[in-house]
Structure 1
Amino acid sequence: MLKLRHIYFAALGLGLACAASADEQRYVSDDLLTYIHSGPGNQYRIVGTLNSGDAVTLIGQNDDAGFAQVRNEKGRTAWIPLDQLSAQPSLRTRVPALEQQVQDLTQKLNTLDAGWNQRTANMQKKVATSDGVINDLKKQNQALKDQLTTAQKKVNAAAVQLDDKQRTIIMQWFMYGGGVAGVGLLLGLLLPHIISRRKKDNRWMN
């Protein structure tokens, strides 16, 4: 009877300790296979196994026995040695996640690289287009300069021709004016003689 009472109190204390512990996420350590027991010790019968990396929920633990009570993903409750639990995911779980992260980062880098290559290509096209526009503007500018030079030469030639025509016209006017002046001078010299001779002729006839 006394022995049963001690077992009862021990079970009650264990239950209280288990209830006081908050449920926490744990992972089976990287051992290949872990046996789980029906109670906190190897003397309890084996009720199953857990594989490395399996996720379990920590319900409570018995520090004296070095065992923890856990619940697996299927909702089954059992006991497992504390040293076979880890707060970090096992390598079996972390490696695929790390590989996925590496794959995602590689894809992002490839996308960024492709984006930069596309931007670089677009910038090169824009620069090439700008160079073409600048060259065209330079050609147009040179053509306009050539046209301006030709126009200036034509203007200078026209100015020379105009000066020559003006000189010719001026010389013609001088010649016309000189001729008129000469005729007037001759008339001025001849008219008095003609008039005086007529007078003399009239006197002789009278």
Structure 2
Amino acid sequence: MQKLRLICFSLFALGITAAAHADEKRYVSDELNTWVRSGPGDNYRLVGTLNAGEEVTLLQSNDNTNYGQVRDSNGRTAWIPLAQLKAEPSLRTRVPDLENQVNTLTEKLNNIDATWNQRTADMQKKVAASDGVINGLKEENQKLKNELIVAQKKVNAANIQLDDKQRTIIMQWFMYGGGVLGVGLLLGLLLPHMIPSRKRKDRWMS
């Protein structure tokens, strides 16, 4: 009887093979909750369930029955069909992660959009300020041009007045010169007649 038990135990040990990598992470399929058993086969009693999408650790597997021994997050161990284990996280786990990633990307995009809007507003302010400076310079330039035109007109008027004064002075000098010349000429004509008559008068009186 003891030998029979030893043979059965040996056969049972040979039926259970260790997993290729111990303590591998696995995920329960996304279907309904899965029943787990106390041993590697359908003939073992049910000991509970695992939630769909729950993360478990694969401890070992039985290639004959295609069952694997897993440990859940609470530290409980049980056997579950390998077909109901997935190597990738379940949709129930991935969807929240994807939602978090989408939310993170959305927040980054919003921040980028806000930053871009702020930069655009700053650039618009700078452009508006530059336009104001340019317009001010244009107005100042036009003002200087107008002042230059007025100054040129004043200079032209002063030149005209100066020319008129110079002509007046020249005319006055001509008039003074003509008057002196006329007086000299008149004296030149009268003096010869006045001097001889005096001489003749002096001779007669002697």
Q: When the two structures are superposed, what TM-score results if normalisation uses the length of structure 1?
A: 0.88
Aligned match of 1:29:
29
Give ranges in structure 2 of 5+ residues lacking alignment.
none
1:100-115 to structure 2, matched below 5 A, reads 100-115=100-115
Aligned match of 1:138:
138
> How many residue pairs align between the two structures?
205
Mean Cα displacement is larger for which, 56-65 or 128-137? 128-137
- SS of the aligned residue for 2:124 comes to helix
Aligned match of 2:180:
180
Contact map agreement 2:19 2:61 (CA 8 A) in 1:
no
Contact map agreement 2:15 2:64 (CA 8 A) in 1:
no
Contact map agreement 2:36 2:50 (CA 8 A) in 1:
yes
Aligned match of 2:118:
118
Aligned match of 2:64:
64
Shift of 1:178: 0.9
Shift of 1:134: 2.5
Rate the CA distance shift 1:139–1:114 in 2: closer, same or farther, 3 A: same
Shift of 1:55: 0.7
Identical-pair percentage: 65
Aligned match of 2:162:
162
Aligned match of 1:94:
94
The whole-number CA distance in structure 1 between the counterparts of 2:164 and 2:20 is: 125
The whole-number CA distance in structure 1 between the counterparts of 2:172 and 2:155 is: 25
The whole-number CA distance in structure 2 between the counterparts of 1:6 and 1:155 is: 132
Give ranges in structure 1 of 5+ residues lacking alignment.
none
Pairing 1:196–2:201 present: no
What's the CA shift string for 1:133-177, capped at 9, x where partnerless?
A: 332222222222221111111111111111111100000000111
The whole-number CA distance in structure 2 between the counterparts of 1:133 and 1:191 is: 85
Shift of 1:106: 1.9
Shift of 1:129: 2.6
Shift of 1:111: 2.0
- SS of the aligned residue for 1:41 comes to coil
The whole-number CA distance in structure 1 between the counterparts of 2:25 and 2:68 is: 12
Mean Cα displacement is larger for which, 155-164 or 131-140? 131-140
- SS of the aligned residue for 1:189 comes to helix
